[in-house]
Structure 1
Amino acid sequence: MLQTSEKIWMDGKFVAWADAQVHVLTHSLHYGLAAFEGIRCYKGKSGSAIFRLPEHVDRLFESAHIGLIEMPFDRKQISEAIVETVRVNRLEACYIRPLVYIGYGAMGLYPAENPIKVSIAAWKWGTYLGDEALSKGIRARVSSFTRHHVNVSMTRGKISGYYVNSILAKREVKADGYDEAIMLDPEGYVAEGTGENVFIVRRGVLKTTPLTSILEGITRNSIIQLAKERNIPVVEERFTRDEMYVAEEVFVTGTAAELTPVTEIDQRRIGSGKPGPITQTLQKAFFDVVGGTDSAHRQWLTSV
């Protein structure tokens, strides 16, 4: 159950959590054209800080642009509103959800002059894939649902309606007792999870899907940088599901998932069946950054 906070920012002002409502004929509710972000704020040794806020705000604006949604606020206003939302709710660590959506007005597929609305909510949220996911890993299954094709859905946009595909895949694998789904692209190569990017370690090389049919993950980008700094070879290339099966290590990354090991896929144990050494090294490096103990990446943190 979602743990409520006190206030939500809506179109430039704060309203009580319970009063943050929209009309049932809100256009985006019916047709799914909205842009959103997932951002985390961490409690570190120097206080609370939001992880890679400028990059998340840039991606929000890029998603809106891809969807032909004209933002009614600029980047500076949205960035300040995100920080203030965390402050107003007195949250030391939290998940932040900005949403840009098409409001009430005309119905039908063409939204005409419907107003563009923006909301920002923040709440306490722990480990996304389970209490022991970060330490022990998760079980995943390759979904029967195919991930988006670049000419069906523009995959660089974090668009609300695209996630129906993820919901179907997630419900499918959860019903079969797995923690997460891994989705293939239309040509049968590994794309991403329902809300995460996928990495494998094969013969000491860290591989991840190139930015062809997947969302440009900000945590993904961070892990690639951290790996290179530790002299871990990194390549961005396509790989198949059976290459995952024989990999020494597999993990997924994302704002919600952070860096979560995958220890079983399709009833096949991955490596030793436990989080591997490269996974553990990068997981520690990531949490050192977000916890403020890695001064080399202080620019990734925005103080609250």
Structure 2
Amino acid sequence: TSIFRLKEHTDRLFNSAHIYMMKMPYDKATVMDAQREVVRANNLKSAYLRPIAFYGSEKMGVSPKGAQVHVAIAAWEWGAYLGEDGLEKGIRVKTASFARHHVNVTMPRAKVASTYANSILANLEAITDGYDEALLLDTDGFVAEGAGENLFVVRDGVIFEPEIASALAGITRATVHTLAKDLGLEVRTRRMTRDDIYIADEAFFTGTAAEVTPIRELDNRVIGAGKRGPITQKIQSLFFDVVGGKVAAHADWLTAV
């Protein structure tokens, strides 16, 4: 059993703490070792791993000054976040009425729990209306990201992604950039409107939980052929091969437990 991109996930935890001025009580090596131990101790073969840093109950109030920073690590068996069927056939997505936070509301380079209040509202709206997931626009009306995922679209053989000013710079997103290059595919970043997605040939979400999930429909508009597209399938297949330890070129992304 190995952990995928353990260093990068741990770096993001520490960077997020730094942005929010949280003094971590352990160094990176200790936190990385603890994550490996949690997987080992629970004898997990395929799991979701979540390290979290939080303030304790030493005091009340908005100011965290004087409160101790604690670190917890949880891991549990995990299936496909957006469904096994979704991985193969694609999911239905709704553009949320809720905008993604402005860059000066929460800090988008930090993965922080408070950001997910916004995601919860968007996701609940989508699920209640019969969709599988939500897409959020930024405060200017341009595409930001999914409720818990980064977005890519394919048009004329080229992969495009929206600018990530107000979105989390995902680790799976960065992985897809590398895998696309391995496959000889170009990735371009630009401002994107939601109707850019309507007329795309393919679209897919990426994320630690979502992995690589095709999108077959947005706002009742079928995207492309209405199923997982060929480029999405290539990216997805290579991604799972890498995570499964089948690609020697990216063995350094796996940390044995």
**TM-score bin (small chain):** over 0.9
Q: Which runs of 4+ in 1 moved over 3 A?
A: none
Q: What is the match of residue 177 of structure 1?
A: 130
Q: Does 1:285 align with 2:235?
A: no
Identical positions, percent = 53
For 1:195, give the aligned amino acid.
Answer: G
SS of residue matched to 2:94: strand
Q: Does 1:139 align with 2:92?
A: yes
SS of residue matched to 1:302: strand
Q: Does 1:156 align with 2:109?
A: yes
SS of residue matched to 2:60: coil
For 1:263, give the aligned amino acid.
Answer: R
Q: Deviations over 1:236-269 (max 9, x none)?
A: 1111100000000000000100000000000000
For 2:118, give the aligned amino acid.
Answer: N
Contact kept, 8 Å, 1:105 with 1:111, in 2: the verdict is no
Task: Name structure 1 gaps, 5 residues minimum.
Answer: 1-47
Deviation of 1:162 after TM superposition, in Å, equals: 1.1
Deviation of 1:108 after TM superposition, in Å, equals: 1.2
Measured in 1, the distance between the counterparts of 2:47 and 2:220 equals 34
Task: Name structure 2 gaps, 5 residues minimum.
Answer: none
Measured in 2, the distance between the counterparts of 1:126 and 1:229 equals 27
Measured in 2, the distance between the counterparts of 1:160 and 1:227 equals 30
Contact kept, 8 Å, 2:144 with 2:164, in 1: the verdict is no
Instruction: Give the total of aligned pairs.
Output: 257
For 1:279, give the aligned amino acid.
Answer: T
Q: What is the match of residue 227 of structure 1?
A: 180
For 1:128, give the aligned amino acid.
Answer: Y
For 2:11, give the aligned amino acid.
Answer: D
Alignment of 1:205-216 (within 5 A): 205-216=158-169
Measured in 1, the distance between the counterparts of 2:67 and 2:178 equals 41
For 1:58, give the aligned amino acid.
Answer: D
Question: Which residue, out of 210, 223, 227, partners 1:274?
Answer: 227
Q: With structure 1 as the length reference, what TM-score do the two structures score?
A: 0.83
Q: What is the match of residue 83 of structure 1?
A: 36
Question: Which residue, out of 136, 148, 153, partners 1:200?
Answer: 153
